[in-house]
Structure 1
Amino acid sequence: MKVALIHATTTALKPIEEAFRKVAPEVELLHFMDTHLLTMIEESGSLTPEIARRFSKSVSLAAEARPDCIQLTCSAFNPLTAILQPLCRVKMFRSDEAMLDEALEYNRIGLISTVRETPEALINYLQARQPNCAIESVVDPGIIHLLFEGKKEEHDERVRRMVAEMDGKVDVIVLSQYSMAHVANQVTPNTPILVAPEATAKRCFQYILQK
């Protein structure tokens, strides 16, 4: 059993590896990384044709490895799955779909993000499946780069502030990036918190078993 993981940032590696070790340690993980993609989307503010073409190269490489499925780990690039899936014989999963499907069990959903472009991708997914769902979004753009600079505590504190700001205003809080998943263990809000890595690993494993 093999899962190909497509990353746009190194901060996604540890969370998803830990999740698979917990959920399905027998699955072999194949990593495909292009960190320049994050820079490109931050500079452009949207998914440009150039980004789509570059991202498609990672998808092609992943598919050539003949995995059981391909799993994205960066939310900002999720809309590209709808474009690229028809061109790829291997099943592709968005980074957040398993988590967001859980979020749709609640009426009021709060999104916390550290990349400016992420909320739109998540909101589009949620509204496509449940048009009347109520969504609140809080973004602290670019603080994911604090992790690259070794400023983990500052990053975590700013995420904790967003959780505190959202707590009680919604029925569930979604930590949008894999890089934030560890912060869920640092807070005790009254509102339930969802993170993507473990839900993602479970979704992939279930898919493989049902093939």
Structure 2
Amino acid sequence: MNPRPRIALIHATRIAMAPIEATATRLWPEAETISILEEGLSVDRAKTAELTGDLARRIIDLCRYAVAARADGVLYTCSAFGAAISRAGAEAPVPVMTPNEAMFDAALSQGSRVAMIYTFPPAAAGMELEFHEAARRQGREATLRSVFCDGALEAKQAGDVAAHDRLIADCAADIEYADAIMLAQFSMASAEEAVRRVTDISVLSSPGAAITEMRRRVESFGMSAKS
């Protein structure tokens, strides 16, 4: 492992970059982060109902590139490529994480009724599958209610963060009978405080959980490599 752990952050949209970079600086200042952006992934993913073989190969190639750049861990920040990220991780010699696996575990620790607000439609089906797989691994029976927040992504892309956060908070205010509310995309992290103001339900976003878990895995991996 490098003297300073190097973590590759792989992005499919630039609006996911700032939340995770800021979180990494705050929670793991000893780590060196490098961001790898391939915006064509999100553009092309939005055009297809399924994760195509071409998209999967591109996801895997990005992981190989990160490993060649001496990354000690690889964290993807786009939620629409879960199956391909798992394939990339299976062949990588370092820890590789999907964006939301740590958040799913945290949500399941809160209870069995979970709501998920999302802003990028292609991400929903894959995330729902990953969530239920996480529940099965833990031996839990859990329900997931997915809520699409129309217009929030477009507001964020246009630079109107206040409108983005307000729209997500409005969606959250209508959610009842849940043990946790997850904000699906990394780009939604800015809305976390606005959501907390309108609900008493536990609110979870991806960046903090992801960095904390990546640190644990990289440090554990480094210790096992030395033994």
Tell me the TM-score normalised to structure 1 length: 0.93
Aligned counterpart, 1:139:
148
Q: Which residue of 2 aligns with 1:111?
A: 116
> Equivalent residue of 1:163, what SS?
helix
Kept in 1, the 8 Å contact 2:99–2:206? The answer is: yes
Work out which of the residue numbers 170, 180, 184 in structure 1 matches 2:192: 184
Q: Is 1:32 aligned to residue 40 of structure 2?
A: no
**Counterpart Cα distance in 2 of 1:71 and 1:82:** 11
Provide the residue aligned with 2:162 in structure 1.
Answer: 153
8 A contact 2:107–2:114 mirrored in 1: yes
Q: CA offset at residue 141 of structure 1?
A: 5.1
Aligned length: 210
The secondary structure found in structure 2 opposite 1:47 is coil
Offset of residue 142 of structure 1: 6.2
Are 1:193 and 2:184 matched, yes or no?
Answer: no
Q: Which of these residues, 173, 177, 185, is aligned with residue 169 of structure 1?
A: 177
Q: Which runs of 5+ in 1 are unaligned?
A: none
Secondary structure, counterpart of 1:135 in structure 2? strand
Give per-residue Cα distances to partners, 1:25-62, cap 9 Å, x unaligned: 01000111101111111111221112112222222211
> Residues 157-211 of structure 1, C-alpha deviation per residue, up to 9 Å, x if partnerless?
2111111122x23110000011111111123211110011111111111112212
> What TM-score do the two structures reach when normalised by structure 2?
0.87
Residue identity matched to 2:25: R
CA RMSD of aligned residues (A): 1.5
Q: Among residues 103, 127, 136, which one is paired with 2:132 in the alignment? A: 127
Provide the identity percentage. Answer: 27
Alignment partners' CA distance in 1, 2:115 and 2:190? 18
- Distance in 1 separating the partners of 2:177 and 2:132: 19
Equivalent of residue 74 in structure 1, options 74, 78, 83: 78
User: d(CA) in 2 for partners of 1:142 and 1:45?
Assistant: 20
Unpaired segments of 5 or more residues in structure 2? 222-227
1:17 to partner: Cα distance: 1.2
